[in-house]
Amino acid sequence: MLQTLKLTNVAVVESATLEFDEKLNVISGETGAGKSIMLDALSFVFGGRADRTLIRSGESKMKVEAVFTNLTDSQKAFVQTELEIDCESELFLLRELDLSGKNTCKINGELVPVNMVKKVCLMLVDIHGQSEHLAILNNDYQLQIVDLFSKKADTILAELHAKIDTLKAVENDIKQLGGSESEKQNLIDLYTYQINEIENAKIGENEFENLSQEKREMQQFERINEALKSAYENNAKSSFGDGALEKLYAAQKSLQNISELNENYANLAARINSLCLELEDINDTIYTALNNNVFDEERFNFIDQRLDYIKTLFRKYGGDFESLTNYYNDTSKKLDNLINSAEKYKELSAQKDALLNDIMAVQERLTAIRKKSADELTKRIGAELKFLGMPNAKMSVQFGRIAEQYSYSGADRVEFMFSANLGFEPRPLNKVVSGGEMSRVMLAYKIVVGEVDNISTILFDEVDSGLSGAIATTVAQYLARLSGNKQIIAISHLPQICAMADRNIKVEKTTQSGTTHTQAIVLDGENLLKEIARLMGAATNEKGLQVSADLKTTSNEYKKSLNK
Does some domain include residue 125?
Answer: yes
Same domain, 246 and 125: no
Q: Contact at 8 Å (CB) between 203 and 288?
A: no
pLDDT at residue 483, as a whole number: 87
102: domain CATH number?
A: 3.40.50.300
Does some domain include residue 266?
Answer: yes
Does some domain include residue 290?
Answer: yes
**What CA–CA distance (Å, rounded) separates 78 from 81?**
5
Same domain, 321 and 225: yes
Does some domain include residue 144?
Answer: no
Same domain, 12 and 98: yes
Does some domain include residue 448?
Answer: no
Same domain, 218 and 121: no
pLDDT at residue 179, as a whole number: 63
- Those residues whose C-beta lies under 8 Å from the C-beta of residue 447, and which sit 6 or more positions away, are 384, 478, 481, 482
Same domain, 126 and 234: no
Does some domain include residue 317?
Answer: yes
Same domain, 13 and 123: yes
**What CA–CA distance (Å, rounded) separates 72 from 278?**
85
pLDDT block averages, 10 residues each, the chain of length 564: 92 88 90 77 85 89 93 83 82 92 90 86 74 64 87 91 94 76 82 93 91 86 83 68 78 86 88 88 86 81 91 90 92 83 81 95 96 93 86 91 92 92 86 75 80 78 68 84 87 87 88 76 86 72 50 52 44
Element holding 560 (H helix, E strand):
helix 542-561
pLDDT at residue 446, as a whole number: 80
CA angle 484, 563, 389 (to 5 degrees): 75
**What CA–CA distance (Å, rounded) separates 21 from 372?**
37
Amino acid at 234: N
Same domain, 14 and 107: yes
**What CA–CA distance (Å, rounded) separates 88 from 85?**
10
Same domain, 98 and 220: no
Same domain, 102 and 211: no
Same domain, 126 and 1: yes
Number of domains comprising the chain: 2
Distances (CA, A) of 179 to 166, 183, 354: 17, 6, 17
Q: Which of 300, 334, 368 is the last residue of a domain?
A: 334
Same domain, 221 and 312: yes
Q: Which of 303, 334, 365 is the last residue of a domain?
A: 334
Number of DSSP helices (H) and strands (E) in the chain, helices first = 19, 15
- Those residues whose C-beta lies under 8 Å from the C-beta of residue 113, and which sit 6 or more positions away, are 105
Does some domain include residue 147?
Answer: no
**What CA–CA distance (Å, rounded) separates 274 from 249?**
10
Q: Contact at 8 Å (CB) between 12 and 83?
A: no
- Cα Dmax for the chain: 142
Q: Which of 307, 334, 361 is the last residue of a domain?
A: 334
Please provide the DSSP assignment of 31-56 as one string.
TTSSHHHHHHHHHHHTT----GGGBP
pLDDT at residue 129, as a whole number: 59
Same domain, 230 and 322: yes
Quick one: which of 499, 505, 507, 392 has its CA closest to 440?
Answer: 392
pLDDT at residue 133, as a whole number: 40
Amino acid at 309: Y
Instruction: Look up the domain containing 60 and give its range.
Output: 1-130+462-564
- Burial of 499-523, coded b for 16+ CB within 10 Å and e otherwise, reads bbbbbbbbbeeeeeeeeebbbbeeb
Does some domain include residue 161?
Answer: no
